[in-house]
Amino acid sequence: MVSESANPRSRPRPHLLARQTATFAAWLAPAVLAGCGLALVYAVDPRTPGNYPPCLFLFVTGCYCPGCGTLRALHSLLHGDLSGALGYNALTIALLPFLGAAYCHGLAHAVGRRPIPALRVSHHAAWATLAVVLAFWAMRNVPVSPLSALAP
């Protein structure tokens, strides 16, 4: 009869468990920080002057950046106002599901016991995303209707 300790597959592997725990902690920390940040944005209204610092790009140039209005959009979204959130920053709201899916995929890949396929983004998709962000940036600074609706 073969004892359990003689079978290498049945032995516990503490180094793998420690690595999985460390990897999980490394992925959990940003989620906790994001949750705390969202709780702050939920509780403190960014529309009230003085609650948050102004956008540095807007302050220096007088033009809106692609991120202008993100805090107000998240605040509106967290309070259930999707149309208000889209009015502040439609690009952020459109990208949130993709960012969440990428985070969940990375977390599952890092801590899962079974390998999952890597999340691959083609260079065409990356360039298209960059083009959309740059176009959004330019269009939200044009003071002509209907493009002026993109300004926060």
Which residues contact residue 94 at a Cβ distance below 8 angstroms, ignoring those fewer than 6 apart?
none
Mean per-residue pLDDT for 45-53?
92
CA dihedral for 140, 55, 99, 77, sign (positive or negative): negative
Question: What is the chain's mean pLDDT, rounded?
Answer: 85
In sequence order, what are the residues at sequence separation of 6 or more whose Cβ sits closer than 8 angstroms to the Cβ of residue 89? 67, 68, 69, 70, 72, 73, 152
Confidence band of 114 (pLDDT split at 50, 70, 90): confident
pLDDT tens for 17-39 read 555 666 777 778 888 999 999 99
pTM of the model: 0.78
Domain ranges of the chain: 30-150
Cβ neighbours, 10 Å, residue 125: 10
Give the DSSP letter string of 119-137.
----HHHHHHHHHHHHHHH
Whether the predicted pLDDT of 1 surpasses 60: no
* 3-state SS, residue 63: coil
Given a cut of 90, whether residue 133 has pLDDT beyond it is yes
pLDDT of residue 112: 74
